[in-house]
């Protein structure tokens, strides 16, 4: 798996272009703005974007979904719980205050343990509720895209609607920290750094 990390949008989201080096098939994970930059990187690498994957439904991570979908024809993928939560009128009203475009409805719903195939690569969906009800992390070999579940030196916020600190800590400790220590953490924001490992986080992250 080839992973290209970009910082996008006015909330400095870590967007990822992940691709299969043999087939050139790609997915864009969390296109939170700066769509022209993302599309330029895709074109430069000669990739065929088939999927747009949301680690969760917060507008800062999905506000580029429509533009990327229109440009590539890719399917939008989201966990079933977030698809239900973020299309509730009260939820939409609350997050509209951020002034960011919501995602179009997802084309494909996933659940824990599902495998997303991308050419010869396989991304395993790990459901990690807490930041949002349907937050997910994506595991491919020793690479783990953690969205806003786990940051370098931090964890996701739980004070938004749908958040739960207890659920988040349970997700991190029982779903992520059981993976090998050398698993590379690719976070949803680069607040404490652009990447780390689970072993480093276990030793140095004050929340763990």
The pair of three-digit structure tokens given for residue 42, joined into one six-digit string: 């895709």
Q: What is the pLDDT of residue 97?
A: 84
Q: What is the pLDDT of residue 104?
A: 95
Give the pLDDT band of residue 98 (cuts 50, 70, 90). Answer: confident
> What average pLDDT does the segment 142-166 reach?
97
Taken in order of first residue, the domains within the chain and their CATH numbers are 2-204 (3.60.15.10)
Query: pLDDT tens digit string along 16-47?
Result: 999 999 999 999 999 999 999 999 999 999 99
Strands 154-155 and 150-151: antiparallel
Query: pLDDT tens digit string along 39-96?
Result: 999 999 999 999 999 999 999 999 999 999 999 999 999 999 999 999 999 999 999 9
């Amino acid at each position: 798996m080839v992973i290209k990390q970009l910082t996008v949008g006015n909330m400095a989201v870590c967007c990822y272009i992940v691709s299969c080096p043999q087939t050139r098939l790609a997915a864009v994970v969390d296109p939170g703005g700066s769509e022209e930059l993302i599309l330029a990187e895709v074109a430069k690498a000669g990739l065929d974007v088939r999927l747009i994957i949301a680690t969760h439904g917060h507008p800062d991570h999905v506000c580029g979904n429509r533009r990327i979908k229109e440009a590539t024809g890719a399917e939008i993928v989201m966990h079933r719980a977030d698809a239900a939560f973020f299309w509730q009128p009260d939820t939409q009203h609350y997050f509209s205050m951020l002034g960011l475009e919501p995602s179009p409805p997802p084309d494909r719903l996933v659940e824990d343990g599902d495998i997303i195939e991308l050419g010869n690569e396989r991304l395993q969906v790990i459901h990690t509720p807490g930041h949002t009800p349907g937050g997910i992390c994506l595991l491919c070999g020793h690479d783990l895209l953690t969205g806003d579940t786990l940051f370098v030196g931090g964890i996701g916020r739980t004070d938004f609607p749908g958040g739960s600190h207890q659920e988040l800590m349970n997700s991190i400790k029982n779903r992520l920290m059981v993976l090998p220590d050398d698993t590379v953490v690719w976070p949803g924001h680069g607040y404490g750094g652009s990447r780390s490992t689970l072993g480093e986080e276990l030793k140095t992250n004050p929340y763990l």
